[in-house]
Amino acid sequence: MESINQPKTLVEQTCEILLDAICSGELAAGERLNQDEIATRLNVSRQPVNSALSVLKSHGFVTDNGRRGVTVAPIDAEQFQYIYEYRTAIEPFAVTLAAKNLPDNAETIAQEMLKKGNDAVRSGDQKAWLVADMAFHEMIYQWGGNTVIQSSMRLNWQHIRRTMAEVLKDASAAKVSWDEHTRIIQALLGGESDKAALEMRKHIEAAHKKTFASLGTSSHPATAI
């Protein structure tokens, strides 16, 4: 028996639309967000817009900026340092958990995921390969079964999206990332959980370096907790 999917509220829909616009760069850092203009554009009242902005503010995507009102928050290099330190510790652990809880159809799911990502890279569809990249990592979290990892990384990935478009702006960089994904899956499905965790750690460390290069700033190597 399938569960009933509750329709999303206006606040949730408004929040998702604004978040997508911020993460894609459609709404740039420092840009002022006029609630009346947003409400008119989305064909909603000010209430869901105000509520959505409050949610985004609590997660660091928008900020109050004095007389300028609410603006898109700048990308915070220090915050990204913290995110990647967290990822370096958590994602290899998520792989270890996944190795213990692989579903019976894990190989089929993984091969479909890898094909989707590689097809997107070959097509040059940047948005598609970014979505597939997030889906790959979410697949690992789901296999691990730890809901705390799933929920915490869901929020972190929204921040990561703000730089991924720049980091993976060309197909060669995206292909390298999917080659790394392939090595993780090969080790995971081959019963080599330690190797799979190591490959994930190397993947996160490479992403860490690329992210800070795209931000034009230096970083410390991410260290496991």
Does residue 168 share a domain with residue 145?
A: yes
Whether 225 is covered by a domain: the verdict is no
Q: Is the backbone of residue 166 left (phi > 0), alpha (psi -120 to 50) or beta?
A: alpha
Query: What is the per-residue pLDDT across 194-215, written as a single tens digit (0 to 9) for each?
Result: 999 999 999 999 988 888 877 7
Reply yes or no on whether the pLDDT at 223 is more than 80.
Answer: no
Give domain status of residue 222, yes or no: no
Whether residue 220 lies inside any domain: the answer is no
- Based on the fold, state whether residues 65 and 94 are members of the same structural domain: no
Domain boundary among the residues 19, 39, 72 is at 72
pLDDT of residue 3 exceeding 80, the answer is no
Among 48, 72, 96, identify where a domain stops.
72
Q: List the domain range (segments joined by +) for residue 21.
A: 10-72
Asked if the structure places residue 224 within a domain, the reply is no
- 63, 149: one domain: no
Q: What is the pLDDT of residues 172-185, one digit of tens each?
A: 888 899 999 999 99
Tell whether 111 and 200 lie within a shared domain: yes
Q: Is the pLDDT higher at 52 or at 67?
A: 52
Pairing of strands 70-72, 62-64: antiparallel
Q: Which helix (H) or strand (E) holds 70?
A: strand 70-72
Say whether pLDDT at 58 is over 60: yes
In this structure, which amino acid lies at residue 115?
K
Higher pLDDT, 223 or 148: 148
pTM to 2 decimals?
0.80
pLDDT value for 130: 84
How many domains does the chain divide into?
2
Residue 4: its pLDDT value, please? 55
> Based on the domain organization, do 57 and 135 belong to the same domain?
no
Q: Quick check: helix, strand or coil at residue 32? A: strand
Contact indicator for 216, 77 with CB cutoff of 8 Å:
no
